[in-house]
Amino acid sequence: MSFLKELLSNRKTVLVLAKNDFKTKYSGSYFGVLWAILQPLVTILVFWFVFQIGLRVTAIEKNVPYSLWFICGLVPWFFFSEALASATNCFYEYSYLVKKLVFKISLLPLVKIISSLFIHIIFIVFLLVVYISYGYSINFESLLWIIYFTLCTLLLVFSISLITSSIVVFFKDLSQIIGIILQFGMWMTPIMWSTKLIPNRLEWLFQLNPMFYIVEGYRSVLIHTNFDQFFQMTVLYWCGLIITFVVGVFCFRKLKPHFADVL
């Protein structure tokens, strides 16, 4: 609780640093922040072309266009993967702040995540535009659910990054391992394939992936697919999130005194 109070009391500092991080990330390039939008957008177009045009994948859910179904899963995954990769290396990137005794370095993972959140908001708008273009309508309840699942993703990334960012200071290879896990995790998450393909006996194994809950949540809100195990998955998700957060705080506080020596 004291860790959470520390974050909340410095929320203005986090927001200012996140804005500066977002600006400096693309400063010096000709197109600037457009690169943050173009790269994921090109990825969406490539996957759409491969599955929709090349492989001629038909609608997975009844009366739901495959492209819309697919984008609903890919947009939250982009936020998760980009934010986790950035937050994992935050102490290296801001090593000059880590060495300052007066600065609360617990804010740094959250700074990188909020910086990635700015791009995620743009892609949520893009998703809603695609959603409306297919003849669907947006209501206030749907927007609240989108905010809820975005918050779930943010808290998940922050909890995991407390662990990864603390360990990577002493084990640099972890950054590369995280990259491999994210590539593998994209295919283990039901982004381009339906959960109906999972055998019943193995379904519990895929549900251990927290992004399973978030991706299916986005789809249940926007395209009204059946998420029969929503309550069960919600309990499982939040229990796992709390455990991950507690472990993350423990790792951070245990290793924090040695950061300045290593960096």
SS3 33: coil
What is the rounded CA–CA span in Å between residue 40 and residue 38?
6
Torsion from C-alpha of 237, 238, 241, 242, nearest 10 degrees: -150
pLDDT at 164: 94
pLDDT at 84: 93
Task: Please give the Cα distance from 164 to 88 (Å, whole number).
Answer: 5
pLDDT digits (tens, 9 = 90+) for 64-74: 777 788 888 88
- Contact in structure between 219 and 225 (CB atoms under 8 Å): yes
Confidence label for 30 from pLDDT (cuts 50, 70 and 90):
low
Could you give the angle at the alpha carbon of 174 between the alpha carbons of 81 and 94, nearest 5°? 75
pLDDT in tens, 36-59: 677 777 877 887 777 666 666 665
Instruction: Report phi then psi at 190, rounded to 5.
Output: -70, 65
- Note the pLDDT tens digit of each residue in 115-168: 889 888 888 988 888 888 888 888 888 889 999 999 999 999 999 999 999 999
SS3 of 72-104: the string is HHHHHHHHHHHHHHHHHCHHHHCHHHHCCCCCC
d(CA 153, CA 188): 17
Q: What residue type is assigned to position 8 of the chain? A: L
